[in-house]
Chain A
Amino acid sequence: MIRDFGLIDVGYLMLAARWTLLLAAIAFVGGSIAGLLLTLLRVQPFAPLRWVASAWILIVQGTPLLAWLFVFYFGLALIGFPISTWLAVIAAYSLYASAYLAEIWRGALQSIPRQQWEAGSALALGFLEQLQHVIIPQAIRIAIPPTVGFLVQLIKNTSLAAVIGFVELTREGQLTNASTFKPFTVFIVVAAIYFAICFPLTQLSRNLEGRLHVARRVS
């Protein structure tokens, strides 16, 4: 039975966007924690741990996110560990985010000249002290724009979770379309909501970048 697309549907879509945001937020936090660990593993001096971290990143970046959603949702259930949709999407998206964030952050760390580490060593700072006081403060400024850029990707990619029945913005759009059959209107509204979420983030990243740069310059 086909009904009209009304303001109420816009409301429902906006409510569904909560789950998009919540999933992106949890995955970003989970991915950041794991990503930070991976980043540290990749710059620390003990080679075997560096290899483990590199392997993790290579594998995750070389496989589709969709495959991980299936692994966590259907795969685990098959071998006798069924987990909820929520848990499966959180696991898959955190895993996905960890690899990309680790790669972004390692790039930022490695863009700091070797001489900065050396100046730290020469002053008797230990490895972690060099990282904390010399390298990370400089790397953050470099890392912010691509990190926010990735967060925007992450938010848009949460739409994939619809395939295992996770209801977020895109899935809600599909459902609305099924009962109103106004695909153009529905998905324009869906796109507009994604844009309304992502655009301010992009602007924020530009502002932060500018501000951190200015803070360094003022003397």
Chain B
Amino acid sequence: MSLVACRDVVKRFGTNTVLDGVSLEVAAGEIVAIIGRSGSGKSTLLRCVNGLEAIQDGSIRVGDTTINAPGADLRAVRQRVGIVFQSYNLFPHLTVEKNITLAPRVVKKISDRDARQIASDVLAKVGLSEKVNAYPDSLSGGQQQRVAIARSLAMNPDLMLFDEITSALDPELVGEVLKVLEALASQGMTMMLVTHEMGFARRCADRVVFMHQGKIWEQGSAATFFDNPKTPELTSFLSAVLH
């Protein structure tokens, strides 16, 4: 059974249909890269998968929870689905360690000591052990984004969603964040990631999904996707981003 199953998902903002019948399955351990033009609904799809946005039609299942069912336990879902945003969204009033331990302590009721152990483990994973007591605004963008990843990992999720997490970074900082993603990939983490880094998608993703006008327009294995686009929309998108 797949870990994530979206079936005919429809999401509207007022009269604007942003997701127009999206069906997508993601198997455990799979890495799915989502690409597409601005406004095609990529972020919205990720936000629907962890219930930050309600959907108007269709269904989304994560594990054995149908998250759009009335009374679905979204808190339980969000503990298993991490999301990292383009703008990091660290808590500026808390140290790196407190940013990371907050949810384990408050949501999972993990003891202070265990939570700090978790923080030190996940910080080691993103290579920032020495920043444990730093405040977010003393870190570079790349470091803040790695802390944001560590903060999500601290909940020990089954699935990670990444929404253009390198887009706000200076070019020389992109590499350090992608390296963290590659390490996660090699540890078998299931990931859905919206990205403009085509090289990274080709190298790391199992599957690439091209979204256009709220639909999954075309998808394929990373190996063949970029070389044999089937639709003119993807052809023109790829020629635009790969110059």
Contacts and interface: CB of A to CB of B under 8 A. Distances in A.
Interface of A: 115-116, 118-119, 121-126, 129, 133-134, 137-138, 141, 216-219
Given A122-B52, A123-B102, A123-B155, A116 B89 contact: yes
B135 A219 contact: yes
Say whether chain A's binding surface is mostly helix, strand, loop, or mixed: helix
Given A217-B135, A219-B135, A122 B83 contact: yes
Nearest to A123: B103
A89 B107 CA distance: 44
A217 B135 CA distance: 7
B75 A126 contact: yes
B134 A118 contact: no
A115 B103 contact: no
B122 to A, nearest CB: 13
Contacts of A219: 95, 133-135, 138
A125 B107 contact: yes
A123 B87 CA distance: 15
Contacts of B50: 122
A143 to B, nearest CB: 14
B143 interface: no
B125 interface: no
Given A116-B91, A216-B93, A133 B102 contact: yes
B92 interface: yes
A121 B102 contact: no
Interface of B: 50, 52, 75-76, 78-79, 82-83, 85, 87, 89-93, 95, 102-103, 106-107, 133-135, 137-138, 151-152, 155
Contacts of A121: 52, 78
Most buried by B among A119, A123, A134: A123
Nearest to B81: A122
Contacts of A125: 102-103, 106-107
Given A124-B75, A216-B92, 9 more contacts: A118-B89, A122-B52, A122-B152, A123-B107, A124-B103, A125-B106, A137-B93, A138-B91, A219-B138
Contacts of B79: 124
Nearest to B50: A122
Contacts of B75: 124, 126
Contacts of B91: 116, 119, 134, 138
B93 A138 contact: yes
Nearest to A114: B89
Nearest to A115: B89
B93 A124 contact: no
B144 to A, nearest CB: 12
18 contacts: A115-B87, A118-B52, A121-B78, A122-B82, A122-B83, A123-B78, A123-B151, A123-B152, A124-B76, A124-B78, A125-B107, A126-B75, A133-B102, A134-B91, A137-B93, A216-B92, A216-B137, A217-B138
B108 to A, nearest CB: 8
B200 to A, nearest CB: 23
A217 B82 CA distance: 28
A122 B77 CA distance: 10
B89 A119 contact: yes
A122 B88 CA distance: 12
A137 B93 CA distance: 7
B164 to A, nearest CB: 14
B124 to A, nearest CB: 19
B155 to A, nearest CB: 7
A138 to B, nearest CB: 5
